[in-house]
Amino acid sequence: MTGKTSGWSRDEMAQRAALDIPDGAYVNLGIGIPEQVAKFVPADREVIYHSENGLLGMGPAPAAGHEDPDLINAGKKQVTAIPGAAFFHHADSFVMIRGHHIDICVLGTMQVAENGDLANWSTGAPDAIPAVGGAMDLVAGVETIYVITQHCTRTGEPKLVDACSYPLTGQGVVNRIYTDLAVIDVTAEGFEVVELAPGISFDYVQEHTGARLIRCN
Amino acid sequence: MTGKTSGWSRDEMAQRAALDIPDGAYVNLGIGIPEQVAKFVPADREVIYHSENGLLGMGPAPAAGHEDPDLINAGKKQVTAIPGAAFFHHADSFVMIRGHHIDICVLGTMQVAENGDLANWSTGAPDAIPAVGGAMDLVAGVETIYVITQHCTRTGEPKLVDACSYPLTGQGVVNRIYTDLAVIDVTAEGFEVVELAPGISFDYVQEHTGARLIRCN
Amino acid sequence: MIDKQNASPAAAVADIFDGATVMVGGFGEAGSPIELIHALIDQGAGNLTVINNNTGSGHVGLAALIENKQVGKMICSFPRTANSTVFPDLYRAGEIELELVPQGTLAERIRAGGAGIPAFYTATTVGTPLAEGKETRCFDGRDYVMEVGLKADFALIKCSKADRYGNLVYSKTARNFSPVMATAAAITIAQAGAVVEAGALDPEVIITPGIFVDRLVEIFDPEQESRLVAAGRSYP
Amino acid sequence: MIDKQNASPAAAVADIFDGATVMVGGFGEAGSPIELIHALIDQGAGNLTVINNNTGSGHVGLAALIENKQVGKMICSFPRTANSTVFPDLYRAGEIELELVPQGTLAERIRAGGAGIPAFYTATTVGTPLAEGKETRCFDGRDYVMEVGLKADFALIKCSKADRYGNLVYSKTARNFSPVMATAAAITIAQAGAVVEAGALDPEVIITPGIFVDRLVEIFDPEQESRLVAAGRSYP
């Protein structure tokens, strides 16, 4: 096995994904590492963040003393609203999602399959409390789905697989995956490595992936 | 044939219908005589008028010099808004109608059948320009449908018939009819005369009706 | 004169009956009508079907209603909460039923219920376990599942201001599900931070027109769920 | 920086193509984007499918677009107008097609198109000639017809104020179909009485969030259709 020598940190994964968010995009960021993407979008790009609980134009966390329990994001954290923000109700918010108006959604995951299937809501364990939130709506309605995830689970199992063993969130929905090891596109032929983290070899990534990888030309 | 000796005027028909609008009702008034009903609702009742083009809390016509081309009713006449009115878009407006939130709708008609079928949008003539507006939505969505109409056409044909010959607006939707001759309920057994206009006999109404009438007990 | 104000939360919820379906506004604590929920706990109606995105926090508000065994079934998208084990404990014990609905489908099913639309099609859940048993249909080459409208006997919601007609405005993201729930319930009960004169609310900015609201209760300084939870409070 | 402003109506409508489907806001003259329609007349695209509740008045605005033979098909609820024979004349001559849709179904089909809902059921038209050829289905003992969502290549709408993000507010009943049309078109073009600074519009009162708007044109003092008609004006 080829030893890991470096790889990206969580912040670096978010930073790498941020490079792919174009100026003027309407973006929904999932809970966890995806939330960090907003910090790293280059300053010359203006990006509008959507929070599915009824806010377009979400800003960063409030300064101390300016928290408002009525102004939260989908993760129920207190946030701010930029000048030019708009509030709306939940049905209107999902018009934006289901109606293909959001350009990009960045999500975490449990598994991604080489055909783009995403499983990020349930392990299917019999004692699990099932909880789906807006994940299925987002992957069904947003054209471009980016996933940010550690390449493997804490116990070393690959999260990029030939077929998901966990219950699906959506079929064939993922476009690109940012892991600590690589940037990988989902193509018609399968996973294609488009960029390797510093010090990480293609073979190392392949050894930690549960599906065949394609080298980018 | 029993001679007509009196009967109700257009204003009297509207006035009679107004007596049946209860305090606190949400009401949609069609174009023509139905619009006049608002003038006659007793002063001790507060009624909220809905206009399907996006206004709840429609007031009377504006005073001279206070007209606003952005503030019109479904008949495209300039109106006013009462204190406590609300504006909304067309889809939301028809949520109120289709979702059974409007209590009463008062409409004009071409024909009403004894089973409550209403025909008020088209004669079906081959050269007619078909135009339906919101009539089909109203009769499908509003629980109580009142009709105000002359008992007969200008050429003396009955408008209350055993079966509509014109294309339907809705099936079995009419509850009560106010004509120049009588107030008539649509019941499971057919048309029931609940009130006669001054000087008008039951037999006279029957002679001018294209279906069997029932005397109210 | 139309005046939808009730004297108290207790008066407003008095006729909620055993077995009723109750929509409860709010997403997390934002928009949660905590005084109305507590009045429902005092009132005691049981075997309720409750529709809310979540299952509450700590031991107050919606979590307390569940903990008090008044809820037979939850319809929601996300029944897990970091700071509450009330629902998970009852669910694992088989004492409460769950209908899990994706958040956007939940919002749209409620809107459909209020809009007189018995069913609609959506691509959400296609190919997932949540589509099992649902009718699937192809439109323009893509598969969609049929979802049915949701209605309720009562809706309990919270707004920032109201007038006597029941016109409502909300505060920021505390709006969330409340405007669609108001349309979908036979009886909609709103707690308002203030009840103002008719005409004091700009007709351009009214979010819920009064036609959708049946009862109002003024709660000038409502409890804040996260503060109650942080203070370790429970209800009753 | 996001700035959706276009220099002129002509620039905003330049890429509307022959055969395009175009939603046009307005109910009668209220909300009719007359400057954008006149720019489309100047631009000349033909064989358009136009979606509007009506067919215009006199010989200006939408009626002028129809009279100029740019419209192959109208989708509307009420194609008759007291003061215009433009549509009826072409319709009787077999030169324009008509899809007649009840007003509420029209609004809901547009909303569905914008909301990613390919089809829904409604009781409107059941038992009437307008239900012929449509699938009928029974839910809870009542019949409903299936209606499909409507989308467009372009929407031309009018609002009172906008900001550079495309957030819009409207004036009174001039709002009508525009908010749902904005959601249902690939390219939504709005003429605004004023374009204000970002943040100048209260986020609680924005009716159309900017995500639904692609292009803005400021028209400070728009023409009023009824005045043009009364003056006997025609366009071009």
Query: Is C178 in CB contact (< 8 Å) with chain A?
Result: yes
Q: Among the options B52, B143, B189, B195, which is catalytic?
A: B52
* Residues A135, A39: Cα–Cα separation, whole Å: 22
Predicted local confidence at residue B101, as pLDDT = 98
State the nearest Cα–Cα gap between D172 and chain B, in angstroms.
Answer: 6
Taking CB atoms and an 8 Å cutoff, what residues of chain B touch D177? 89-90
Are chains A and B touching, using the cut-off of 8 Å on CB pairs and a minimum of 3 such pairs?
Answer: no
What pLDDT, on a 0 to 100 scale, did the predictor assign at position C81? 84
Mark out the alpha helices in chain C (DSSP H runs). Answer: 9-13, 34-43, 61-67, 86-92, 103-115, 178-184, 225-230
> pLDDT band for position A3 (50/70/90)?
low
Which amino acid does the sequence have at C1?
M
- Whether residue C124 has pLDDT greater than 60: yes
pLDDT in tens, C136-170: 999 999 999 999 999 999 999 999 999 999 999 99
Provide the percentage of residues in chain C whose pLDDT is more than 90: 97
How confident is the model at residue A79, as a pLDDT? 96
CA neighbours closer than 13 Å in the CB half-sphere of residue C178: 33
Mean pLDDT of the region D152-181: 98
Over 70: is that where the pLDDT of A173 sits? yes
Closest among D190, D157, D163, D192 to D176, alpha carbons compared: D157
Taking 80 as the threshold, does the pLDDT of residue B3 lie above it? no
Residues 59-78 of C with CB under 8 A from D: none
R_g of chain A, CA atoms, integer Å: 17
Question: What is residue B49's predicted lDDT score, i.e. its pLDDT?
Answer: 98
> For D87-142, what is each residue's pLDDT tens digit?
999 999 999 999 999 999 999 999 999 999 999 999 999 999 999 999 999 999 99
What would the two tokens of residue D39 be?
């720019």
CB A129 within 8 A of CB A85: no
Residue A61: both structure tokens together = 């966390």
Q: Tell me the pLDDT tens digit for each residue of C40-94.
A: 999 999 999 999 999 999 999 999 999 999 999 999 999 988 788 999 999 999 9
Interacting residues of C14 by C-beta distance below 8 A, sequence separation 6+: C43
The maximal CA–CA distance of chain A, rounded, in angstroms, is: 52
Residue-wise pLDDT for B88-117, tens only, equals 999 999 999 999 999 999 999 999 999 999
Number of domains in chain A: 1
Task: Quick: pLDDT tens for D54-100.
Answer: 999 999 999 999 999 999 999 999 998 878 899 999 999 999 999 99
Q: Do A137 and C105 touch (CB under 8 A)?
A: yes
Instruction: Report the alpha-carbon angle D102-D103-D107, nearest 5.
Output: 115
Q: Could you tell me the CA-to-CA distances from A112 to A35, A107, A186, D210 in Å, in that order?
A: 19, 11, 9, 33
State mean pLDDT over C1-30: 97
Q: Look over chain A and give the mean of its residue pLDDT values, rounded to a whole number.
A: 95
Domain boundaries, chain D: 9-118+151-230
Q: Which CATH number belongs to the domain containing residue A164 in this structure? A: 3.40.1080.10
**Cβ C2–B99 below 8 Å, yes or no?**
no
Residue with tokens 């470096």: A6
- Maximum distance among all Cα pairs of chain C, rounded to whole angstroms: 55
**Residue A69 near chain C (CB below 8 Å):** yes
Q: Are D25 and D155 in contact (CB under 8 A)?
A: yes
Is A176 in a helix, a strand, or coil? strand
Q: Which two tokens stand for residue A53?
A: 């609980």
- Choose, out of C117, C143, C176, the residue to mutate when testing the contact with D (most D CBs < 10 Å): C117
Which of D109, D111, D120, D145 should we substitute to test contact with C (largest number of C Cβ atoms within 10 Å)? D120
Give the A:C interface size as CB pairs under 8 Å: 142
Residues of A in contact with D206 (CB under 8 A): 86-88
Task: Give the whole-angstrom CA distance, residue D90 versus residue D50.
Answer: 15
Please determine, for residue B1, whether its predicted confidence score (pLDDT) is greater than 70. no
Closest alpha carbon to D35 in D159, D184, D211, D214: D159
Closest to D224 (Cβ–Cβ): which among B69, B122, B141? B69
Cβ-based contacts of D165 with chain A (< 8 Å): 48, 57, 84
**B106 within 8 A of B34, measured Cβ to Cβ:** yes
pLDDT tens digits, A67-114: 999 999 999 999 999 999 999 999 999 999 999 999 999 999 999 999
Both tokens of D193, joined, read 């009485």
Q: What pLDDT is stored for residue B217 in this prediction?
A: 67
Query: pLDDT band at C208, cuts 50/70/90?
Result: very high
Tokens of A112: 């991604």
What is chain B's length?
217
Tens-place pLDDT, residues A188-204: 999 999 999 999 999 99
Q: Residue D151: which residues within 8 A CB-CB, separation 6 or more?
A: D21, D113, D114, D184, D185, D186
Q: What is the pLDDT of residue A2?
A: 54
CB B21 within 8 A of CB B41: yes
Q: Residues of D with CB below 8 A from A48's CB? A: 2, 165, 210-211
D97 C-beta neighbours (distance < 10 Å), count: 13
Prior bond to A167 cis, omega within 30? no
Which residue on chain D is closest to C105 by alpha carbon?
A: D117
Interface-testing mutation among A56, A70, A82, A143, with chain D (most D C-beta atoms within 10 A): A56
Question: What per-residue confidence (pLDDT) applies to D188?
Answer: 98
Would you call B4 exposed, middle or buried from its count of C-beta atoms within 10 A (0-12, 13-18, 19+)? middle
- Min Cα separation A2/chain D (Å): 45
pLDDT at C227 over 60: yes
Burial class (CB in 10 A: 0-12, 13-18, 19+), B68: middle
Q: Are A111 and A161 a contacting pair, CB within 8 Å? A: yes
Domain covering D9-118+151-230 in this structure, CATH number = 3.40.1080.10
- Give B2→chain D minimum CA distance, Å: 37
Q: Judging by DSSP bridges, how do beta strands B104-107 and B80-87 pair with one another?
A: unpaired
Taking an 8 Å cut-off on Cβ atoms, the answer to whether D126 and B171 are in contact is yes
Residues within 8 A of D (CB atoms), B 103-122 only: 117, 122
Q: Are A213 and A19 in contact (CB under 8 A)?
A: no
pLDDT confidence of residue A6: 80
Residue with tokens 């088989």: C94
pLDDT at B126: 83
> Which residue, among C24, C147, C98, has the nearest Cα to A132 in the 3D structure?
C98
| Cβ–Cβ < 8 Å for C49, C76 | no
Task: Look at residue D192 and tell me whether its pLDDT is greater than 80.
Answer: yes
D148 and chain B in contact, CB less than 8 A = no
Interface with chain D: mutation pick from B28, B52, B53, highest number of D CBs within 10 Å: B53
* Residue-level pLDDT at C83: 84
Kindly state the percentage of chain B with pLDDT values over 70: 98
Note whether B141 contacts C164, CB cutoff 8 Å. Answer: no
Helices and strands: H and E segment counts in chain D: 7, 11
The nearest CA of chain D is from the CA of C117 a distance in Å of: 6
Average pLDDT for residues B209-216, to the nearest whole number? 95
The pLDDT of residue B216 = 82
State the CB neighbour count (10 A cutoff) for residue A213. Answer: 20
Question: Order of strands across the sheet with C119-122?
Answer: C136-139, C142-148, C119-122, D119-122, D142-148, D136-139
Determine contact: B101 vs chain C, CB below 8 A: yes
Banded pLDDT at B81 (limits 50, 70, 90): very high
Predicted local confidence at residue B213, as pLDDT? 98
> Tell me, what's the pLDDT at C206?
98
Please state the ipTM of this predicted complex.
0.97
Cβ distance D190 to D168 under 8 Å?
yes
CA of B58: how far to CAs of A148, A201, D97, D125, in Å?
53, 71, 35, 27
List CB contacts of D103: < 8 A, sequence separation 6 or more.
Answer: B52, B90, B94, B132, B133, B134, B137, D53, D77, D78
Q: What is the 3-state secondary structure (H, E, C) of D106-163?
A: HHHHHHHHHHCCCEEEECCCCCCHHHCCCCEEEECCEEEEEEECCCEEEEEEEEEEEE
Which single residue is written with the structure tokens 């004023």?
D194
Domain that holds residue A134: 10-215
Contact residues, D window 18-77, toward A, CB-based 8 Å cutoff: none
Q: What percent of chain D has pLDDT over 70?
A: 100
- Residue B198 in contact with partner chain C when CB distance is under 8 A: no
- Whether residue A4 lies inside any domain: the answer is no
- DSSP classification of residue D94: T
Q: Is the omega angle on the peptide bond into residue D236 within 30 degrees of 0, that is, cis? A: yes
What is the per-residue pLDDT for B2?
Answer: 54
Say which residues have a Cβ less than 8 Å from residue D113's Cβ, sequence separation at least 6.
D149, D150, D151, D152, D183, D184
Q: Does C202 touch chain D (CB under 8 A)?
A: yes
Q: Residues 6 or more apart from C161 whose CB is under 8 A from it? A: C168, C169, C192, C193, C194, C195, C196, C201
- Residue B156: partners with Cβ closer than 8 Å, 6 or more residues away: none
Q: Which residues of D touch B122 (CB under 8 A)?
A: 129
